[in-house]
Amino acid sequence: MDRIRIRGGNKLNGVIPISGAKNAALPLMIASLLTSDTLTLENVPHLADVEQLLRILGNHGVDVMVNGRRESQTESYSRTIQFTCRTIVDTTAPYDLVSKMRASFWVIGPLLARAGTARVSLPGGCAIGTRPVDLFLEGLQALGAQIEIDGGYVNATAPDGGLVGGHYTFPKVSVGATHVLMMAATLANGTTVIDNAAREPEVVDLADCLIAMGARISGAGTSTITVEGVTSLHGARHRVLPDRIETGTYAMAVAMTGGDVTLEGTRADLLENALDALRMSGAEITETESGLRVVRNGNGIQPVDVVTEPFPGFPTDLQAQFMALMTRSSGVSHITETIFENRFMHVQELARLGARISLSGQMARIEGVDRLRGAPVMATDLRASVSLVIAGLAAEGETMVNRVYHLDRGFERLEEKLTRCGAEVERVSD
């Protein structure tokens, strides 16, 4: 099993290209099930989660061409991929595929909308909380779907004539459920209104792609999305938006280590709240023609309190990285996690590097220390794993991050990007 070895202490200087967003690419890929025409997606990152979803879509009958070649011939860079699903050949998403990645459950919406039936295994993914599928199923039931759970599978059928427009209010904001309900509603008969919808940029990106495919959607980016169903969707070409979590992660790495890095190909509007927190910590962040420039000033890292919230609030997917940064602050900071109930598993691993962190319910109290020291640590989930990399970049000596398959799920060419900016980071294979 691969590991990441880091020798800390180097400042980061140079340019880091920001890849396409994993959290946008996955629902965009799933949208290919909604049409028999070809959907072409540009700027798709090469990640383990993307490769897993390609296998799942292939199981349903989606033909995949990468940069004009078959998937087996791809390079490990962001790519242009063509998805063509002439016919849905299988409406079952089996356990051995779906259990490995939660987002694969989202195929239930397009399968139900286009084929009228779906049998999808209950999902897997990072162990950061229960994340039940109730909201997905209740939303689909509002469109007339009949649903039962049997043997670990969700069996869903649409009424004769297909799904029908409906009105559903999410009891709490859910990005994944918003994706699913919006996709399903595009082919429903009548108008669907989704209240308390997620406002994340990835939801807007999916809506933009669906509109290019012929869907009638308004309100994406607000808490109320309206979808007027159409009889069919057609092909389109769409570019995946930049990864705001990758952007924030590398910005925090620069703030942690010092240096001057341009994050190329990204946008500030995707994560303003996180950038504001970074500025308060002492980082200088400016927009440039090519992206964002991040510079750590000479005054050290200042303590900042944050609370994770749905967009446009501070992202839960940057909580672990920001905690790593706060371990070197000049005072006490607090991080409150309001999205997932089990997302502090990285705390004990940061403590192995010398961090002083105490937990009280969903709040972490971080007392900044003068230095961290390298140690072997264990990645527990995707975002926690990269927080250990950030800490390791600033730690004295060597840090070895184990179970880095989590990193491969969400960060494209991480070692290469950091090494090009002066970090000592290498992958070690047993």
Given 85, 126, 209, 421, the catalytic residue? 126
Between the CA atoms of 250, 256, 262 and 268, what dihedral angle is there, to the nearest 10 degrees? 60
> What residues does 14 pair with on adjacent strands?
261
- The angle subtended at Cα 14 by Cα 11 and Cα 19, nearest 5°, is 110
d(CA 47, CA 44) in angstroms, rounded, equals 9
28 assigned ligand-binding residue: no
194 is in an annotated binding site: no
With contact defined as beta carbons under 8 Å apart, do 25 and 246 qualify?
no
Q: Is 417 annotated as a binding residue?
A: no
Tell me if 175 is assigned to a ligand binding site. Answer: yes
173 among the known binding-site residues? Answer: yes
Phi first, then psi, for residue 181 (nearest 5°) are -70, -35
204 labeled binding residue? no
> 324 to each of 113, 301, 344, how far by Cα in Å?
43, 11, 12
- 126 tagged catalytic: yes
Residue 187 DSSP one-character state: T
Rg (the chain; Cα; Å):
22
135 among annotated binding-site residues = yes
CA 427 to CA 416: how far, in whole Å? 10
Strand ranges across the sheet with 291-296: 12-17, 259-264, 291-296, 283-287
- Give the 3-state secondary structure of residue 313: coil
Closest CA to 250 of 42, 75, 425, 50: 425
Tell whether 232 is in a known binding site.
no
The answer to whether 20 and 242 are in contact (CB under 8 A) is yes
63 is known to lie in a ligand binding site:
no
Residue 243 annotated as part of some ligand binding site: no
133 is known to lie in a ligand binding site = yes
- Say whether 306 counts as a known binding-site residue: no
Q: State the Cα–Cα distance between residues 20 and 172, nearest whole angstrom.
A: 27
Spatial separation of the C-alpha atoms in residues 201 and 205, rounded to whole Å:
6
Tokens representing 215?
Answer: 């869907």
**In terms of Cα–Cα distance, which of 314, 295, 289 is closest to 253?**
295
Query: Pick from 167, 165, 159: which is nearest to 224 by CA?
Result: 167
Query: Which residues belong to the annotated binding site for phosphoenolpyruvate?
Result: 22-23
Q: Binding-site residues, please? A: 22-23, 102, 131-135, 172-175, 317, 339
| Active site amino acids | 126
Feature table: binding site for UDP-N-acetyl-alpha-D-glucosamine? 102, 131-135, 172-175, 317, 339
